[in-house]
A and B are shown apart, each in its own frame.
Chain A
Amino acid sequence: MTTIDPARSTREGVHEQPARGGTGTRGTRILGIATIVAMGWLVAFGLGFSPADRDQQESVRILYVHVPTIWIAYLAFTVTAIASGLYLFTKKKSLGWDRLAGASAEVGTVFVAVTLVVGALWGRLTWGVFWQWDARLTTTALLFVTYVGYLAVRRLGGSHEQRARRSAVIGLIAVLEIPLVHWSVRLWRSLHQEATVLDTDGDIDMDGLMLFSLFVGVVAFSLLYAWLVLHRTRVMAMEDLMDDRGLDLALEARRSEGRRSERRTGTPDPRPAGDTIDKDGAR
């Protein structure tokens, strides 16, 4: 964990101006352009060139965004689990893994939310209802809530290491939970197969241009995922640095308080300079 030199900040007032810019690098700029191009192709093929489906007519076009978003969400949560494992089980315990896990989970959670909403729109067109308690929808809804919980655990406060360890454990537990939930929901819905007009768990047969449009969608959203995660991890690194700097400044302020009171009264300040209080009010 790197820290900002507090002496430098307080002596000079404002530290030397960093270069204007942000979290962009040449790599992310290329990635960003590729993403935009791919998204353009997706719109062109998804809304234009690809044909309507025999059964679903035009509503199949929604799937070209709907399916990629959920697949990328699965990818994102897998990355979160792997990064969590790497944080917990490597000797160095680099916080970079923790930030990767967190950024990936944030992106994944948003993607699941989009999946659910867009899926409801698709369901309205194909089944006539916005929602059904079939295996897939139920599991996806629980997936969403599970990772909302993960993100909440990341915000519990405390040191960066505490956050990293807690959420790494939760991130790995989630990978255990999700298959269990999926299995139980599938078993449940398969035994209670109420007559539905359309087989909701069946996949449509896609070929030719339709399959290609889906492929473009997956590529486009994968590029987007990479771009988002790269930027978000860099932002998180800076947020952590700001946290550390805030702590350093607080310590420095405390120390100078102590020195001032010592000079005044001639006796050392009884309270130790290292006193810190975390968000819960615990030491």
Chain B
Amino acid sequence: MSIRYSLLAILDAGPRHGYALKSEFEQATGNIWPLNVGQVYSTLSRLQRDGLVLVAEEDDGQKTYRISDAGRQELRQWFGTPVVREVVPRQELAIKLVFAMRAGPEQVRDVVQHQLGATMASLQEFTRLKATAEGDGDLAWLMMLDALIFQAEAEARWLELCEARLARLRPRPLTAPENAGAVRDVERTP
């Protein structure tokens, strides 16, 4: 997640103090990504080093940050570049399912059911927030919630598909894990 470009985007609207950047960032993203002050200042000093941000020190010693022309150009480039998806995202849930499969379909079914309940509950929560957000007319926040809703939906639909695939599995006679290989070999003999 790019703190660097987010800070540039905030500064594009006008000069800010460091602390104002932190609170504006958090407000814009609904506290989904809490930011600590240290991250803000270390990012700002890198931006300053790269000539993307200019700093003015006021009489009271407070620093005001301003975006430079190079910073604006960098920001435009960021907006114009699609975000690259990880080919295989390291999803904890996917990994959990892979290992649950080793313990057998029952374990997977369990994982899927629990996760589906939790995912649907978050979906309800996001939807409720959206219903209130609509009245406020805050379009950026609304689109952020839409993103969370569609991600949760995608996960829930995937889990439903997993469930449907599991349901298709014909129940097989139970075998102890150590015999599993042997049984499979027997099945393979014509």
A and B interact: no
User: Footprint of A on B, CB under 8 Å?
Assistant: none
User: Footprint of B on A, CB under 8 Å?
Assistant: none
